[in-house]
Amino acid sequence: MSVRRTKILATIGPATDLPERLTSMLRAGADAFRLNLSHGTDAEHRATLRRMHAAARVVGRDVAIVADVQGPKIRIGDLAAPSVELRPGQAWRLDRDPTPGDTRRVRVELPSFRQAARPGDPILLGDGAVELKVDWVSPDTIGTRVVSGGAVGSHAGIYLPRAQLRLGAFATHDRHDAEIALAGGIDFLALSFVRDATDLAEARRWLDRHAEGAEVGLIAKIERAEALARIDDILGAADGIMVARGDLGIEVPLARLALEQKRLVRRANVAGKFVIVATQMLLSMVNSPRPTRAEATDVANAVLDGADAVMLSEESAVGHFPIESVRWLARIAEATEPSYDALPLRGLISGDPSDPPGSRAVAAAAVTLAEGVGARAIANPTHSGRTARTVAALRPKVPVIALSHNAGVRRRLSLVRGVHTLMVPPHRSLVELRREISDRLGNLPGLGTGPIVLTAGYPIEGRPTNLITLVDPATEELPSPGRRARVARQ
């Protein structure tokens, strides 16, 4: 078992959407896969999801699958060439014409051109490197002139900072894509451009109607400036958040982006929700087998901030070195994690208000005991994953082992920092559970020596976690099977 705590979420695209590439990425250290539903057809999405599940079965791992819907992001249409080069001073029109675009014009689908822009407004393309200035606006065209030039590809994002548009975060096309993803078996749905908790509530209601009993978590992508002011409400409604630095870096001053990242990670930590840091973590590795020193430092800082996971985007979707990118993330995280100090965080954690009374106190006691006796791990039998998440939120110095017979619970925990999962059958008694822990974890590679701190619901599994005990595989003496059966009936 790997002792790395920070998880790796890898976006799957043309560079990795092959069975052997998917299994290689998992063996290199990826913990979860992301499917960006903004690109590709329904048939391609279905096939990719099947290959993701098959790869997880091949390596025998619990792998979370995250489906990322496009949301209200506005994109340009098709271009006649793969990309066009826009030069400063050049005129470029945005219109409704479905004809593939060129160096003179391109299609943009907007509910209202007049509400989208006014003369003098800036318009940013892609990651903001290409800037346009609005010259004039008509009911079906926006005339612009290039301020900062560069290459623009088909379906590049377009950012209208002064637009008066109200676009839903979970529109009709997102629901269609989400239906495809649900049918393919996903664990999380990531919502783009979340504004507030109402966007998440709308998506949650839709999931309740369409998930057919499957447990699917919601990830709020933080990309809008208005979401920053409502982050606590968003955290209360989401299972986790993603700090999506690409679009967020356009919405907020670039000089403040690192500070906003740190604030978002800390707020998620305090709320006991997982947080993913994303976008351009190792961007140079699209074309290079090694990251830059600045990128290595960026990843290390995300780990030191307290991120649960770091994400690869272009690096694994279209890059030339996707496996190497995963390995480098793993190496940097493993080298950095020993320097992470969780103590200042522990006193601030509020946790989930819906947690059973006393759950945080039990988790804190388990962590204190584990670190005090030099335990090799904290083992948490769990039906929902709640106990493992609560313990992991305290960032213990030892691994958290979540034991569950529910495969969906185990997969969803694969995005939580410090949590590793094992499949175990339900237990009828504490004695059976202790024996299972001793047998399964006693010689598990990577855990070292020392006792195991075990949390449980007593007197039977399924009760809220209310018990902490020590299991030492080196000295454990349990009753014989016959005696164990009599004890279980008492």
CA distances, 477 to each of 164, 273, 438 (Å): 70, 38, 10
- Here the tokens at position 130 are 């290409």
Tell which residue, 232, 230, 156, has the closest CA to residue 193: 230
Q: Which of 27, 73, 75, 145 is catalytic?
A: 75
DSSP-assigned letters across all residues of 79-121: BSSSEEEE-TT-EEEEES--SPB-SSEEEB--S-HHHH--TT-
- Here the tokens at position 192 are 């783009």
- Single-letter code of the amino acid located at 433: L
pLDDT, residue 423, reads 92
- Single-letter code of the amino acid located at 389: R
Mean of pLDDT values over 61-81 = 92
Mean of pLDDT values over 362-373 = 94
Mode of pairing for the β-strands spanning 141-148 and 91-95: antiparallel
Sign of CA dihedral 381, 383, 389, 394: negative
Helix (H, G, I), strand (E, B), or coil: what is residue 74?
A: strand
State pTM to two decimals: 0.88
Sequence ranges of the chain with CATH classification 3.20.20.60 = 7-71+169-336
Whether 27 sits among the annotated catalytic residues: the reply is: no
Percent of residues, the chain, with pLDDT higher than 90 = 71
Is a pLDDT exceeding 80 seen at residue 351?
no
Tell which residue, 257, 216, 223, has the closest CA to residue 238: 216
Whether 75 sits among the annotated catalytic residues: the reply is: yes
H or E segment to which residue 297 belongs: helix 293-305
H or E segment to which residue 148 belongs: strand 141-148
Per-residue pLDDT tens over the stretch 100-135? 999 999 999 888 898 889 999 999 998 788 999 999
Name residue 339's beta-bridge partners: none
Name residue 188's beta-bridge partners: 66, 217
Mean of pLDDT values over 348-374 = 85
Per-residue pLDDT tens over the stretch 153-211? 988 888 887 787 767 778 888 999 999 999 999 999 999 999 999 999 999 999 999 98
Asked if residue 206 lies in contact with residue 179, where contact means CB atoms within 8 angstroms, the answer is no
Torsion of CA 462, 465, 469, 470, to 10 degrees: 80
Asked if residue 192 lies in contact with residue 70, where contact means CB atoms within 8 angstroms, the answer is yes
Asked if residue 392 lies in contact with residue 349, where contact means CB atoms within 8 angstroms, the answer is no
Q: Which of 6, 11, 144, 279 is catalytic?
A: 279
Fold of 7-71+169-336: TIM Barrel (3.20.20)
Contacts of 372 (CB under 8 A, 6+ apart): none
Tell which residue, 360, 357, 356, 368, has the closest CA to residue 470: 368
Helix (H, G, I), strand (E, B), or coil: what is residue 23?
A: helix
In the chain the first and final C-alpha atoms are separated, in Å, by 37
Q: Which of 4, 7, 34, 395 is catalytic?
A: 34
Asked if residue 465 lies in contact with residue 366, where contact means CB atoms within 8 angstroms, the answer is no
Asked if residue 395 lies in contact with residue 389, where contact means CB atoms within 8 angstroms, the answer is no
pLDDT, residue 427, reads 73
Confidence band for 266, pLDDT divided at 50, 70 and 90: very high
Sequence ranges of the chain with CATH classification 2.40.33.10 = 74-159
Q: Which of 221, 230, 267, 273 is catalytic?
A: 221
Whether 279 sits among the annotated catalytic residues: the reply is: yes
Residue at token pair 């059973």: 356
Is a pLDDT exceeding 50 seen at residue 234?
yes
Sequence ranges of the chain with CATH classification 3.40.1380.20 = 344-489
Is the link from the previous residue into 464 a cis peptide, with omega within 30 of 0?
no
pLDDT, residue 260, reads 97
C-alpha 240/C-alpha 416 separation (Å) is: 9
Sign of CA dihedral 465, 430, 428, 394: positive
Is a pLDDT exceeding 60 seen at residue 478?
no
Per-residue pLDDT tens over the stretch 274-321? 999 999 999 999 999 999 999 999 999 999 999 999 999 999 999 999
Per-residue pLDDT tens over the stretch 197-214? 999 999 999 999 998 878
pLDDT, residue 293, reads 97
Tell which residue, 353, 395, 400, 87, has the closest CA to residue 232: 353
Tell which residue, 424, 421, 338, 354, has the closest CA to residue 390: 354
Name the CATH code of domain 74-159 (choices 1.10.15.40, 2.40.33.10, 2.30.30.90, 2.60.40.350): 2.40.33.10
Mode of pairing for the β-strands spanning 419-423 and 467-471: unpaired
pLDDT, residue 46, reads 97
Is a pLDDT exceeding 50 seen at residue 483?
no
Fold of 344-489: Pyruvate Kinase; Chain: A, domain 1 (3.40.1380)
Per-residue pLDDT tens over the stretch 383-392? 889 999 999 9
Q: Report the mean per-residue pLDDT for the chain.
A: 91
Is a pLDDT exceeding 50 seen at residue 482?
no
Whether 133 sits among the annotated catalytic residues: the reply is: no
pLDDT, residue 21, reads 98
Is a pLDDT exceeding 50 seen at residue 488?
no
C-alpha 308/C-alpha 7 separation (Å) is: 6
User: 9 or 70: which carries more pLDDT confidence?
Assistant: 9
